[in-house]
Amino acid sequence: MMKKLLFLTALIAMSAGAFAQIEAPVKWSYASKKISSTEAIVFLKATMQKGWHIYSLNVEDGPIKTSFDFSPSKEYSLIGKPSEPKPISHYDKNFKINVTYFENTVIFQQKIKLKSPKASVIKGKLEYETCNDIKCLPPEDLDFSIPLGK
């Protein structure tokens, strides 16, 4: 009787876990590189599962564009705006406009002016929306903390 109860409990726990899985087709990773004693570049890399994409920094209308909000700091400031490689441009029948997006992997870059030799980490938040040919997931906000490389 105890074995049956244990088996039933394990079965219920496994099936509940299967229903509770959240789709996460995009993984983010971060890196940085000091290019001088007063400048660095931070890299924000998105890796998408096959069939999924995220949108360019420069989407005007329609889907939620990828964006980065760097936390203000006395130790660093931004030089210009984030940059991206050339995106794919495609007419999207759902949004009824041309959209620009990335598939597989994309690396965004932001140049940083270091105001202090104590600057050790760049913090902020990013927002993005991911879609495939069938659906879009709700936009996601993620906090990031990027240690400054040597």
pTM of the entire structure? Answer: 0.83
The two tokens of residue 62 are 């329609």
**Each residue's pLDDT tens digit, 94-129:** 888 999 999 999 999 999 999 998 889 999 999 999
Instruction: List the domains of the chain with CATH numbers.
Output: 24-147 (2.60.40.1250)
Reported as half-sphere exposure (CB side, CA atoms, 13 A), residue 55 has a value of 26
The whole-number pLDDT of residue 51 equals 96
List, in sequence order, the alpha helices (H) in 56-123: none
Angstrom distances, CA of residue 139 to CA of 19, 55, 66, 111, 142: 21, 11, 9, 25, 10
Whole-angstrom Cα distance, residue 58 to residue 46?
16
Whole-angstrom Cα distance, residue 46 to residue 13?
32
